[in-house]
Every structure is written in structure tokens, then in C-alpha cells.
Amino acid sequence: MPSVLPLGDPAPSDGLLPAQAADGAAQRGFGLYVHIPFCAVRCGYCDFNTYTATELGGGASQDAYASTAIAEVEFAARVLKGSGLPPRRLGTVFFGGGTPTLLPAEDLARILAAAVAEWGLEPGAEVTTEANPDSVTPESLQLLADAGFTRVSFGMQSAVPHVLKVLDRTHTPSRVPQVVQWARDAGLAVSLDLIYGTPGESLADWRYSLETALSYGPDHISAYALIVEDGTKLAAQIRRGEVPGIDDDDHAAKYELADELITAAGLGWYEVSNWSRTPQQACRHNLAYWRGDDWWGIGPGAHSHVGGVRWWNVKHPTAYAGRLAGGASPAAGRETLDAETRNVERVMLEARLSSGLGVSGLGESGRHAVAGLIADGLVDPALAFKGRLVLTLKGRLLADAVVRRILHD
Amino acid sequence: MSPMARTAPVPAATDPAIIRNFCIIAHIDHGKSTLADRMLQYTGVVQSRDMKAQYLDRMDIERERGITIKSQAVRMPWEVDGTSYALNMIDTPGHVDFTYEVSRSLAACEGAVLLVDAAQGIEAQTLANLYLAMENNLTIIPVLNKIDLPAAQPEKYAEELANLIGGDPDEVLRVSGKTGMGVEVLLDKIVRDLPAPVGDPDAPARAMIFDSVYDTYRGVVTYVRVVDGMLHPRERIQMMSTRATHELLEIGVSSPEPTPSKGLGVGEVGYLITGVKDVRLSKVGDTVTNLAKPASESLPGYADAKPMVFSGLYPLDGTDYPVLRDALEKLMLNDAALVYQPETSAALGFGFRVGFLGLLHLEITRERLEREYKLDLISTAPNVEYEVTLEDKRVVHVTNPSEYPTGKIAEVREPMVSATILAPNEFVGAIMELCQSRRGVMGGMDYLSEDRVEIRYRLPLAEIVFDFFDILKSKTRGYGSLDWKADGDQVADLVKVDIMLQGEQVDAFSAITHRDKAYAYGVMMTGKLRELIPRQQFEVPIQAAIGSRIIARESIRAIRKDVLAKCYGGDITRKRKLLEKQKEGKKRMKMVGRVEVPQEAFIAALTTDESKDKAKK
């Protein structure tokens, strides 16, 4: 989650949602995102809304954070009810950060328990936490599994020490197989996060990272091109010429290598940057974002979406805690999407998925664009004829251009 | 010292013997306006207490009244030895492209004040206008201005002026328009040194038009100098070149407000209003006569304004085309030299091919269109007019590279100019190098003073219209000045270079160049476009070709990655807003075949940045 909040309309302090939010809610899935805004070290590339331990106090401190988050869980339950939404059980829960596992596992379990107490979990619900290989133990992982977590996503990033160093990652590569094994032993599904295109990373480095990650037999892999965000330490280093800049062609070559090796290892792509061993092991929480389901985001800077209403919380943990302590909504701003905007978002998000975008839902000019996209090898022709616009490998690398052609041509 | 005149001579009843007609020849920032203002003040035409306000309000008044208060010709009374004289100060256009208009203003005068900045010395255009004045047998009064400046070098430049016009450096007047020092002495000298106009009061009326200005409320205001006879209000007049007749609705003098009079007699200078709406009906250089008693011969020196430089003007936003058309129509009312016709470019859409007197005229016109009509324009690289003779003897005049004939060509002629460059002598080598690289042939070189030279070259016009002056300035650290005039034509080995994107010819980038320079142009333009055009989803070859022969090629590699790696819950709003912004950005794209070319790329590719690059080296 980037740290810069969008500009939107003011959000009311009672948090109540406009009537449209409840329309058709019973047919939509419902999930919970919990943002944990702490890290042991601030990574050079990261512009997420996260803070190191010593930076915060009051209700925003690490010690008090679980209670503050639980206050928003309870607030969320009141708002949804008060806005006329039907009671729905949680299909997915995702703890992200920051580094969720910097909090004691008991705190994460406590927040989850509060959410389950409010809404309940669907049978077979997916409950994930992100984790840094440095900040888990066999015991903490077991505790999470016992509390109801089903899945852990490790920020492995790379298997190459000099690449990890540029990224400011502190873990030693040899720790990764160990934590994967611990997670397995606890009964958790395992996902590994990788980053490619780090300054100084060769294609061979990247191949080594991929092969290493695949050798651990993960259920799921996310591989992201490094994005150099304005205002990060890495952006400054590149600007000063201390590290080389980002090259899109290098990114493209590495993406193609990733897809080749991951697919060869038996995983399949289901979103531009995500592969899973079976379709059932795709991250259902993330799929909910791309399919326009409802979710509530707990925590400072967290985004939420319910029935075409998007909002985002105040960014700073102290301001966030203060709002909740006063019984007010922590939302900083929100937007209510009209039908056209929802359609733009649908195209923008569903085009990224292997399940694709329904061609029949496109306007006339959008349908017209499909022929050109097929001709340019960006869209799978057979699936397009069956009514689904699904990107080819080349198309995935140019997904944003494809979206523009569908929407703007 | 002469006092302000107690009584002013009355128009239409002024003896030519007490009339003095003069202009001020000066470079643009050598202080002509300030000196003119000071003269208005000292002769009592403008009250001292109004002076400052009037000066500052000038632009607003111009806008409000249409006629400029800094009038084309101001009549000022001035008394010397008890006699009241009528002084007519005639304005001269200030820049290089209007040589013809300058020559007509000079022809309306018996004398000229040669005004030179005492810190800078004479500039090439001033020198050219001085030569023009001397050819017209004008009496020259040399004056150094701004002598109050610490950097003034009056001795050095007085010597330079004395060398140019003959005479003693001590006779060069020294004034300061700013403080008023020496201005009264100058007014006395104008009366004493300039000859009075001579004409036949009983002959049929003949008056020469030296300027003609469009006014929103009054129509065209025509400025004339009466040579023979007399013009009266209400009589019918005739323009001798076109035979068009008009009723003289009003006749008068500017002093400086337009003041109707009972007529204008021999030697007098004033304005005519006939109600016509187009300056083309009142052409500079033409002779006005009386329809009832017409003159048999017009005054010498009339010539039609001839456009020398052509450029395509296109609105950035195609929907602005009607605005551009209306704006050109309006500008044309006040600019007899402007010609245009509609033109279509595959790359740029609908626009106009516009003919100008020179590059400065082009720049001024473009700036006025952009500022006064709020237009964003692309102007294509300026072209001259080529005369192409085909093997079947057919002759085609080409002002746009896209009109260049594709058949067998027997001969191409290009317009030539004779150019005069003034600069400190340390830059002679650099200037010669520049002129020779532009296919120039040296005509001669003279020392104006110990360290300043005048260099004369004959050059193809096409070689100086693009960036010559900018480069001259940078090579002479700003000291070089340039003047040019048309000087026939010559046969040249010219070719048309086309630029193609993905095999599609982009007409806006075609150029007619000398064969020896075709390759350099091709390499330059293809290289420039490779930098300026963003990568597309496919490879884009860029080629330069003469006919079907490729002389240079570049390639824009296909973009391989255009996707945001992470698009999760918190990224969606930001990503969508970016998409909306990109949609706006697409409106500023021109499609060449399937290639999206940003407007900025067109502008940058057509902009002369060669001079800047060279300045850096």
C-alpha cells in the first residue's frame, strides 16, 4: 500500500456509508485486511505506511496496537450494520504491513479473534499473514496456526546477498528454507514473495533466486518488479548515481524468465504477478480486490471498499489511534464510484487475471479494440472467441497498455 | 536655445518653406521612443505633466483607440529665430523584414536623424537603413544617444559615424533622451540643416502612402506625404496602382491626437480616412491622387510586398482551426504583407500555409496569434519559395516541401540574399566559417572603425531563415548584427528529404535541402525523432529518404513492459486516477499511421535547437 493517500471527498465522522454500498451485498464476498504499521528496519525501496519500533507512542505504540485495531474492528461492525449491510461471514482475512510478525503472535491472534467474534468465518476461510523470515519461530508459527491462520507469505525477495543488501533486507538467505519448513510443520500453506530488477541484480542472480525459491516447494509465489517510489532512500540513491537506475527491458526479460521457471515447476499464473500450485491455492483475499468484492481495511492508511464506496484511513498511527479513541471514524477521505468508474476499474483489474475480462461487458469501442489486441499477440485468440479477454505472456507485460486501448481507443 | 513655438503653423495653409520632414533611424533598443517622447514634450505637443502617465498608458490607449498614440507621423511646432516651423516626425518600422516599408518612410522625408547608442555603436540594420537613406539623398544628422550612461564611448562611436557618412566627429550631436540633454539643440539642427520639401502646388495632387493601419472603429487609417497639389476632405480620391476610388471622409494631422484639417498641401504629412476595411486597398508605396483632376504619373518606387518565407501554421487542438482562420483574417486587415491559404497535413491536420516577409515577421505573427487569440500553434520549419522546372518545361513554384514535384526535374532555382554583418573584428573568422557553411559567397569586408568590421555575403535565403541569426549571435557573443535584402536567385543542386515513421511519410518533417546537406538533415531528424517519440508496443523504424533511396535510418525499439507490478486494494484508486490522466494525455497525441506521436515531439523536432547545441560546444 503506497504511503501517499489519494484525494477524495471528506468522509463523515460516523463512518456511515451511502445507500448504494448495501446494494447487492449479499452476493459479494466479504474480507478483512489488517495493516500492521511496524518494521524492525525501514527498507530502502519501501514507501509503505510503516514505522520502526521507537518512532511511535500512545495508542499507536506496538504494545497498544492490537487494542487499537480491535477498536476499529468493533467500529467497522457497527458501521456496516448501521449502513444497512446484511450480516456476512469473513471469507478471507489478510494481515499485511509493515511486518505483522513484529507483533507478538498473541496480538495477531487477539485481533483475528475479535474479527471472528464480530462476523464469524466462512467454512474453509483463508487467513494469511505476511512474515519476515527474521521474525518468526516454530512456536510463533504454531501459535498462529492454532489461532486460525491458514497461510503465511514470507518476504524472501531474493536469494542473493548483494541484492538483499541493496534492498536493506536483513535476513540471511539460509534462513528461508528453515522458516518454510517450520510453517509447513505448523500446517500453514506457504507463499514466497520475490522482487526482481533490483539495481545490480543480474539475470543470473534472478535465475538463482527463482530456482532457490522453487526448490523450497512453495504453494504460491508472488514476483514483483521493483518499483522505485518517489521519496524513498533507493530513489535518492539512484538520483545521486550511487546505484544504477531501473531498466524496463531488464524487467521484461526477468518477468519472462520468472514465468518460464515458475510454470516449469508446476505453478500456474493467475494474476500478472502471482502464481499458485493449484487454482485453489491462489490468494483468495487478493482475488477479492481484483473482482470487486467488499473488504474492510483495518489500520492507519488502510483502504476499504464496500459496494462501490472506497475510503482510506488517516495515515499516521498516532492520528489513527486518536480518532478511534474518540469514537470517530479513522477515514481520511472517500469516493463513491459511479457506474462508469466502476466499469473502468473492472477492466483495469480483471484484465490482470487469468480468468480474464468478459468481452461482452465492454462497450462497442472496447470490443473493437480486442481484434487489434489479438493481432498484436497481446490477447489469447481462442479464449477471446469464447468471450474472455485473457492476456498472453506478452500481453501481461503490456497489461496497462492493453487496458488503455480497451478504454481509450 | 529656442523657445517653444508660440503659434503653430496651420495645416493646409503652411508654406512648404517652414516644413521639415524627418525620421529617426535607430536600432531597436537604442532609445528612439524615449527621444521621440522627449521631442513631443519639448515642442509642447504633449504637456510635461501628462508625459509620464501618457507614456505608461500607451498600451491601454492603443488598445482602446486602435490608433497608436506613438503615431506613424507626428506634427510638432518648433520656433527658430522667431519663425514657427512645422516638424513632421515619421516613424520607421523597427526591423529587418520591413525594408520596403522603411524605404517608403524614408522617401517621405528630406532628412533622417541617425540615432546610435553611445555605448554600443551602430548595428547592421541601422547601417542598412542609413545606406537606404543616403541612396534617397536624405540629409543625415548623426546623433549619439544615452551619453549619460557610464559605459558610453562617445569619442569612439562619433568617429565611427563620421567615417560612415563623411564629416567631422565633432559635428556628431550628443544627447540623452532620458535626461533631455541636447534634445533642443537637435530640434534646432533639424530646422536649420534639413531642406524644406519642394513640390508644385498647382499640379494635380500626388501623395505617397508610407503606412496604413487598421483601426477597429474608423477602418483603415492611411498615412501620406503630399508631394504635389492638395487634398481636401469630401473629394473623391484614386489609388493609382489599383485605380480604386474612395471618398475622403476625413483628412488631418496627428499632433499626436488625430486632428481633422481642411486639407493637406505640398510637403505636408498627415492621415486619410476613407472607410475601407482592408489595408490591401491602401498599399504602402502607392500614390493617392484626385479623381476629378488626376495626375498622369504615379510617384516612383511602388512595389508589391512579396512574401519570402513560408511556414505551415497548425492549431495544436484541431478544433481551434476556425479560431485560427478568423484570427488570420483579422491580422490580414492590418498586415498587407501577410498571405495565407488553407493547407492540410497528414500529420498535423488542418492549418494554413502562411507567407511572411522574413523570419521575424513570422515570429511576430505567430506570437500575436498565440497571445491575442489564445491559440496553441505548431509552426513547421520555414521554407523559401523554389522555382522548379521539370524536364517537360513545366515550372512549379514550391513553398511547401510536400508540393515538391515527383517527376523529372531539369532545374531548381532558389532565392538569394545579400547579407551585411557587423561585428567586432575578433569574430571575423567565426562569421566567415558560418557563412561558408551556409553556401555563402563573400562580397567584401570593410572596417567601420579600428575594431569593427562590416562583412558582406551573398547567401541562399533558405540558409539564413532557420537558425542563422541565433548562431551568429552565439558565435559573436551577442555583438554580431545582421541585415539582408533579396538579391535574385540561383540554380542549386537541391533535393527533397522525406522522413518516414513505420513506412508512413510524415509531411511535416520533409525538407528541401542542398544535396550535400541532405544526409546531415536525415541523420539529425531521424536521431531527434528517436529521442522524442516514446517507445510503442511495436518497433518503429524511422527513415530519411531522397525519393525511394534511404539515406538514414533509426529505430525505436518496441516497449516490452508497461504494467504496474502491484495492484492491490490500496493501489486501485491511484491507478485509476493515473489512467484518467493518461486518457487526457492521449488527446495531445497525433497518430501517424499507428504510431502515437506526442505534440511535444512535433514541436521539439521542428524547433531550432541546433543553435543552442552549438552554443554549448
Residue A263: is its pLDDT beyond 90?
yes
How do residues A8-50 score in pLDDT, each as one tens digit?
888 899 999 999 999 999 999 999 999 999 888 888 888 878 8
Closest CA to A258 of A318, A316, A193, A183: A193
pLDDT at B335 (0 to 100): 80
- A8 at B interface, C-beta within 8 A: yes
- A30 at B interface, C-beta within 8 A: no
Cβ of B586 within 8 Å of Cβ of A2? The answer is no
In this predicted structure, which of B19-28, B102-111, B382-391, B586-595 has the lowest mean pLDDT?
B586-595
At A101, the pLDDT band (50, 70, 90 cuts) reads: very high
At B49, the pLDDT band (50, 70, 90 cuts) reads: low
Q: Distance (Å) from the C-alpha of residue B504 to the closest C-alpha of chain A?
A: 19
One-letter amino acid for residue B170 of the chain:
D
Cβ of B561 within 8 Å of Cβ of A397? The answer is yes
pLDDT at B612 (0 to 100): 38
Q: Distance (Å) from the C-alpha of residue A33 to the closest C-alpha of chain B?
A: 9
In this predicted structure, which of A247-251, B125-129, B284-288, B353-357 has the lowest mean pLDDT?
B125-129
pLDDT at B64 (0 to 100): 43
pLDDT at A50 (0 to 100): 82
> Which residues are bridge partners to A33 per DSSP?
A94, A297
Which residues, including other chains, have CB under 8 Å from residue A228's CB and lie 6 or more apart? A45, A234, A235, A238, A245, A246
At B306, the pLDDT band (50, 70, 90 cuts) reads: confident
Please provide the average confidence, as pLDDT, over all residues in chain B.
Answer: 88
CA separation for the pair B550, B564 (Å, rounded): 39
pLDDT at B2 (0 to 100): 55
Helices A399-408 and A339-350: angle between axes, nearest 10 degrees: 150
Cβ of B559 within 8 Å of Cβ of A248? The answer is yes
At A258, the pLDDT band (50, 70, 90 cuts) reads: very high
How do residues B242-263 score in pLDDT, each as one tens digit?
899 999 999 999 888 889 999 9
Residue A184: is its pLDDT beyond 60?
yes
3-class secondary structure per residue, chain A: CECCCCCCECCCCCCCCCHHHHCCHHHCCEEEEEEECEECCCCCCCCECCEEHHHCCHHHCHHHHHHHHHHHHHHHHHHHHHCCCCCCCEEEEEEEECCHHHCCHHHHHHHHHHHHHHHCEEEEEEEEEEECHHHCCHHHHHHHHHHCCCEEEEEEECCCHHHHHHCCCCCCCCHHHHHHHHHHHCCCEEEEEEEECCCCCCHHHHHHHHHHHHHCCCCEEEEEECCCCCCCHHHHHHHCCCCCCCCHHHHHHHHHHHHHHHHHCCCEEEECCEEECCHHHCCHHHHHHHHCCEEEEECCCCEEEECCEEEEECCCHHHHHHHHHCCCCCEEEEEECCHHHHHHHHHHHHCCECCCEEHHHCCHHHHHHHHHHHHCCCECHHHHHCCEECECHHHHHCHHHHHHHHHHC
pLDDT at A53 (0 to 100): 66
How do residues B416-474 score in pLDDT, each as one tens digit?
999 999 999 999 999 999 999 999 999 999 998 888 899 999 999 999 987 898 899 88
Q: What percent of chain A has pLDDT over 90?
A: 81
Cβ of B586 within 8 Å of Cβ of A404? The answer is yes
Whether the link from the prior residue into B256 is cis, omega within 30° of 0, is yes
Closest CA to B532 of B552, B507, B509: B509
Whether A348 and B583 have beta carbons less than 8 Å apart is answered as no
Cβ contacts of A249 on chain B, cutoff 8 Å: 557, 560-561
Residue B216: is its pLDDT beyond 50?
yes
Residue B313: is its pLDDT beyond 90?
yes
CA separation for the pair A352, A402 (Å, rounded): 10
At A88, the pLDDT band (50, 70, 90 cuts) reads: very high
User: Across residues B194-214, what is the average pLDDT?
Assistant: 93
Helices B599-606 and B515-532: angle between axes, nearest 10 degrees: 150
pLDDT at B61 (0 to 100): 40
DSSP 8-state assignment for residue B189: H
Residue A306: is its pLDDT beyond 60?
yes
pLDDT at B608 (0 to 100): 56
pLDDT at B57 (0 to 100): 39
Cβ contacts of A345 on chain B, cutoff 8 Å: 572, 576
- Grid cell, residue B450, equals 579600428
Residue B550: is its pLDDT beyond 70?
yes
Closest-approach residue (CA) in chain A for B594: A372
B532 sits in which H/E element: helix B515-532
CA separation for the pair A190, A173 (Å, rounded): 16
One-letter amino acid for residue B84 of the chain:
S
pLDDT at B3 (0 to 100): 61
Q: Which among A8, A248, A335 has CB closest to B561? A: A248
User: Across residues A297-318, what is the average pLDDT?
Assistant: 95
Residue B230: is its pLDDT beyond 60?
yes
- Edge-to-edge order in the sheet of strand B19-26: B73-80, B83-90, B19-26, B111-117, B139-145, B173-174
Cβ of B563 within 8 Å of Cβ of A2? The answer is no
Closest CA to A159 of A215, A218, A209, A213: A209
Q: Which fold has domain A19-290?
A: TIM Barrel (3.20.20)
Cβ of B561 within 8 Å of Cβ of A251? The answer is yes
CA separation for the pair B254, B191 (Å, rounded): 19
pLDDT at A94 (0 to 100): 98
How many cross-chain Cβ pairs, A to B, lie less than 8 Å apart? 106
Best of B502, B573, B576, B586 to substitute, by most chain A Cβ atoms within 10 angstroms, is B573
Closest-approach residue (CA) in chain B for A33: B569
pTM of the model: 0.70
Cβ contacts of B583 on chain A, cutoff 8 Å: 404, 407-408
Q: Which residues of B touch A (CB under 8 A)?
A: 537-538, 557, 559-577, 579-580, 582-583, 586
Cβ contacts of B589 on chain A, cutoff 8 Å: none
Cβ of B565 within 8 Å of Cβ of A344? The answer is no
Q: Which among A248, A272, A408 has CB closest to B583? A: A408
pLDDT at B535 (0 to 100): 93
Whether A392 and A373 have beta carbons less than 8 Å apart is answered as no
How do residues B397-431 score in pLDDT, each as one tens digit?
999 998 899 888 999 999 999 999 999 999 999 99
CA separation for the pair B201, B36 (Å, rounded): 30
At A349, the pLDDT band (50, 70, 90 cuts) reads: very high
Whether A51 and A300 have beta carbons less than 8 Å apart is answered as no
Please provide the average confidence, as pLDDT, over all residues in chain A.
Answer: 93
Q: What percent of chain B has pLDDT over 70?
A: 93
pLDDT at A36 (0 to 100): 94
Q: Domain extents for chain A?
A: 19-290, 338-409
CA separation for the pair B243, B196 (Å, rounded): 31
At B615, the pLDDT band (50, 70, 90 cuts) reads: very low
At B63, the pLDDT band (50, 70, 90 cuts) reads: very low
Cβ contacts of B569 on chain A, cutoff 8 Å: 1, 33, 289, 295, 297, 303-305
